Amino acid sequence: MKRAFTLFVVLKLMVFSGCELLQKEFMGRYGIKNCTFELMSVNAEVYPNYSNLDKSYAILLMRVRVDNPNSYKVILDRMLFDLLINDRTVLRDLENNSKREVDPGASTTFEISVKVTYDEVESAAKGLFEGIQSGTVSYKLDATVFFDSEITSFSYRTTIKEGEI
C-alpha cells in the first residue's frame, strides 16, 4: 500500500512538472511577439569568382539586437528576412536557423550570417541605384519570426529596421 501511494505521488509530480515545462516552453516562444528588434550593423565579405560571375557570392554579417520586456525568458527558433528598397523586395527569405534565448527584461545582440548570391546582390544594387536616381532611397528589413513547438510552428512578421539613405 505504501509503495502504491509513493508511486502515485511520484507520477503526480511528474505530470505537474511536465505541464509547467510545457507552459514555459509555450510562453517562451509566444513571448517573442512582445520583443523589439533592431539592426545594429551590416558587414559584407565578397567572394568573387572571376571565371564565372554567377558563382560569385557575398556573406552578409548582420548584428541584430533583441529586447525582451517580458518577465520570462523568450526563445527565438528561427527567422526569415526580406530587404526592401523603396518598397520593392530586393533580397527575399534570407534565413537564420540558430536557436537563441533572451533572458527576462534583458537585451541580447547576435550575429546572423547569410549567404547572398550574385543575382541577389545585383537585384539589391539595381534597387539602390534606382532609388538614388529618383532622389530618395528608403529601406526596410522585414522578418518573419518563427517559434516552433512539438505540434506545429507559429510565425509573425515584424519590421526590424526602416529608414532613408
The pLDDT tens digits for 10-22 are 444 444 444 544 4
Q: Which residue has the cell 518573419?
A: 144
Q: What is the C-alpha separation between 26 and 110, in angstroms, rounded? A: 22
Which secondary structure element, helix H or strand E, spans residue 89, and what is its range? strand 88-96
pLDDT of 54 over the 60 cut: yes
Q: What is the dihedral of CA 109, 113, 116, 122, to 10 degrees?
A: 40
Q: How far apart are CA 65 and CA 135, in angstroms?
A: 30
Round to whole Å and give the CA distance between 78 and 98.
6
Q: What is the pLDDT of residues 60-93, one digit of tens each?
A: 788 888 899 988 888 887 888 888 878 888 778 8
CATH topology for 2-164 is Immunoglobulin-like (2.60.40)
Summarize pLDDT for 17-43 with one digit per residue, the tens.
Answer: 445 444 555 556 667 778 888 878 878
Strands 74-76 and 88-96: unpaired
- Average per-residue pLDDT in the chain? 75
In degrees and rounded to multiples of 5, residue 92 shows phi and psi of -125, 140
